[in-house]
A and B are shown apart, each in its own frame.
Chain A
């Protein structure tokens, strides 16, 4: 890059003279115009000069901006100057924006250093730069001047400031400034450690973060490891921008290893005879805000991320957070980052980070109870369509199956019971993400029960049954799983129908009915194991299925998203041109939605088995309607109805006409149901669901139902 800068005092003279020139040229242009016009001459020369004057004026303005940046740099003694024989040169970036970013970055870094030294006003100043953090030249300058060590110490100083407030009877007084400042640190750190960001500081900066993460520091008499302060930065991020995969590979993984190095002896002691007798708990490495007792002022009270409909975790928090919790918070906004942590076995370890978190370190999540970040990171890492998602899901299931085997045991009456309540409780925060992972990989759930070869590696049917019971005690997890299976049913019918019609449809549906049977029974057993009574359970099992149907057809559900864009085309009169599977999907979506709203399926189905059967029938009838082929008998029966023409024999009206009127559509559906061959296979499907239930019982050695 070529050198860019200004020479003093020549530059100041240039600014003054160029500014004056602009004014002088404007006057010249005006007077010349008057003279030429007065003499009846062509005014073009005056007009050209007016344009030149405007351009010179614009340049003069840019020059003044550059000059004010140079002055600010001199005033704060941050100019890179050099006196040469040719004059006094000051280095200034070529682009104005970059120059401004560099100046602001330098001033912000100065404020941060002052804040670290205990200057309260500096914390206020720092807050003012929050909006600048997205600018790459700002970020680069800020990080370069603070360094990894400075970043560590500044966040520690901010936490110490909050503690000083509390000690002085002004608890929370600096909370807002502290949060803004922390967000600034988080944004700059995330950008500066992402190789894809223009502000990337290079690999050496990541190594510096590791080095200082492992170093002991002191703030106001409290000793801490660098990572305990850096964790506050991780936790302050809001995912925009996310911390990169690279950051997690270098810093994140090391933080996990570091905690284990420092704490494993203590953890072993808490588990030995004396420790257990004393009720010792597994204490994780807390972040510095938690150590200082200021976590609640440090962290904005925004609910943790997760599906919008999910309530914020109800678990009793101690208002604190472990370094590792903060790390998973930072990883949870990006699937690749979350995978970089979990899908890795550190040097010298016998297990992956994922397995370690689910076994040896499991108890440590519960010391502070800040379990949402890990749950969200796990969900993010396992719910994609990529192969890493699947292999992490498979690993999680194979790790958790050992727990599930300890948790659930047959009791004296051969009914499933929770044999290890403590472990069951410790696993509860994993139900939702593991449920999502299973739902995302529903094809492997199917494979495990039906084809075996396409199932989860290393997982038996019985083990999957037990895991399903574990996750299904979380209602949302059960709903998500059943909605995923409902999507499989509809897809399968729509794949089969255009080529084969009713022929062989039963054979397609029976294996799906089996899978449904396992899913539905898992929910039932989970409730019974939690001491629900039969009546309550019976009702909930049906309700859960109904909720699954509702989710499936909602705008975010598997079917809802598929038909969302089609509605306009269908109702707009293009029904005949819509492809079979779109039309069929639209009809079944409408059918299920209507039933969910009116409670029809809930009312008419005697039990969960019949509800599954109802879903399957709906899928088949919709496919049939979409193909539009009906027997003579059916058409005779339709005579006089609003959905047929007056012809002899009557013909069906175009589908978009039928769907345009709700009453006509309902009548049509009812007629279509009456004339569908699927009714005859109905018992068989319901029986299949029932048989799958018995199979589940056999798998789990429970026969007392």
Chain B
């Protein structure tokens, strides 16, 4: 029988998964525009590189959050 803890945890997993889905592409436009040479030059190039790195790190953090929540929900069974 699923206990109340488990239900709460499942709901949390869903909310975190939604946060991740909704924000996954937040830096995508910046990355694409920089690839399309919206701003060129040494400082622009550094900016473009940084934005790609941010996006990569964002994805890692979101994945980690979802994974942590799922693991916790599994443990609560």
Contact = CB atoms under 8 A, between A and B. Distances in A.
Contact of B65 (A17, A24, A32, A87): A32
A41 B68 contact: yes
Interface string B53-70: 010011001101100110
A679 to B, nearest CB: 80
Contact of A2 (B41, B51, B62): B41
A4 B46 CA distance: 12
A349 interface: no
A86 interface: yes
Interface in B2-16: 9, 12, 15-16
B3 to A, nearest CB: 15
A17 B34 CA distance: 12
A113 B66 CA distance: 64
A95 B41 CA distance: 10
Given A11-B38, A14-B38, A86-B37, A21 B26 contact: yes
A2 B39 contact: no
Contact of B42 (A32, A42, A52, A94): A94
Residue of A3, A6, A38 with highest tally of chain B CB at under 10 A: A6
Interface range, A side: 35 or more
Contact of A18 (B16, B30, B40, B41): B30
Contacts of A31: 19
B10 to A, nearest CB: 11
A17 B29 contact: yes
A21 B42 CA distance: 23
B29 A21 contact: yes
Contacts of B72: 39-41
Interface stretch (A43-51, A177-185, A665-673, A689-697): A43-51
A616 interface: no
A28 B26 contact: yes
A10 B34 CA distance: 9
Interface residues of B, number: 34
B1 interface: no
Contacts of A95: 43
Contact of B54 (A41, A45, A52): A52
Contact of A45 (B12, B29, B37, B61): B61
A40 B5 CA distance: 12
B40 to A, nearest CB: 6
Contacts of A35: 12, 15-16, 19, 65, 69
B36 interface: yes
Given A39-B12, A48-B61, A6 B38 contact: yes
A13 interface: yes
A53 to B, nearest CB: 9
* B interface SS class: helix
Nearest to A59: B47
A49 B61 contact: yes
A17 B41 contact: no
B33 A52 contact: no
A17 B63 CA distance: 23
B23 interface: yes
Contacts of A38: 12
Given A28-B23, A35-B12, A55 B54 contact: yes
A98 B68 CA distance: 47
Contacts of B27: 21, 56
Contacts of A45: 61-62, 64-65, 68
A4 B38 CA distance: 11
A25 interface: yes
A17 B44 contact: no
A32 B30 contact: no
A598 B64 CA distance: 87
Interface of A: 2-7, 10-11, 13-14, 17-18, 21, 24-25, 28, 31-32, 35-36, 38-42, 44-46, 48-49, 52, 55-56, 59, 66, 86-87, 92, 94-95
Given A40-B72, A56-B27, 11 more contacts: A4-B40, A6-B40, A14-B39, A21-B29, A24-B26, A32-B19, A36-B68, A39-B69, A41-B68, A52-B54, A94-B43
Interface of B: 9, 12, 15-16, 19, 23, 26-27, 29-30, 33-34, 36-44, 47, 50-51, 54, 57-58, 61-62, 64-65, 68-69, 72
25 contacts: A3-B41, A4-B40, A6-B38, A6-B39, A6-B44, A14-B30, A18-B29, A28-B19, A32-B16, A32-B19, A35-B12, A35-B16, A35-B19, A35-B65, A35-B69, A39-B9, A39-B12, A41-B68, A45-B62, A45-B64, A49-B62, A55-B54, A59-B51, A86-B37, A95-B43
6 pairs of A and B residues whose beta carbons are closest in the complex:
A4-B41, A10-B38, A17-B29, A45-B61, A14-B33, A45-B65
